[in-house]
């Protein structure tokens, strides 16, 4: 059974710092990996989708990398801002061939101090 782990569980840094969030998964047979942001009491907002054949994706100040063989992904946030404060979730889509959903990690709760 696929398991997704996110480290650290919580992180608090001053504004302006660059930071890295980590995600690991136990089964490397995946179709893709998706990073989400969740604000308190809100739904999930998709940030980046990386296909299994890709090594990285970039969107603005965000860069996500994928090393499928080692079962790892990182989300790099450059020049962090207080508005980046949220919980960041990593999720993988298995390549078992079925249409079942994503397997999620428990998230990293990020606080950016002004």
Site for another protein in 6-65 (CB under 8 A): 31-32, 34, 36, 42-46, 49, 51
Closest residue by Cα to residue 66 from 85, 40, 93, 39: 93
- Closest separation between CB of residue 58 and another protein, Å? 16
Which of 57, 63 has the CB closer to another protein? Answer: 57
71 forms part of the interface with another protein (CB under 8 A): no
Q: Convert residues 81-100 into a mask of x (bound to another protein by CB under 8 A) and - (unbound).
A: --------x-x-x-x--xxx
104 forms part of the interface with another protein (CB under 8 A): yes
Q: Note the residues at the interface with another protein (CB under 8 A).
A: 4, 31-32, 34, 36, 42-46, 49, 51, 89, 91, 93, 95, 98-102, 104-107
């Amino acid at each position: 059974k696929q398991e997704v782990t996110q480290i650290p569980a919580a992180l608090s840094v001053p504004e302006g710092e660059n930071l890295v969030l980590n995600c690991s998964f136990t089964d490397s047979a995946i179709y893709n990996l998706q990073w989400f942001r969740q604000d308190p009491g809100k739904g999930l907002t998709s940030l980046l989708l990386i296909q299994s054949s890709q090594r990285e994706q970039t969107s603005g100040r965000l860069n996500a990398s994928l090393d499928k063989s080692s079962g790892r992904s990182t989300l790099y946030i450059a020049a962090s801002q207080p508005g980046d404060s949220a919980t960041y979730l990593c999720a993988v889509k298995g390549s078992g061939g079925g249409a079942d959903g994503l397997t999620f990690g428990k998230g990293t709760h990020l606080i950016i101090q002004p």
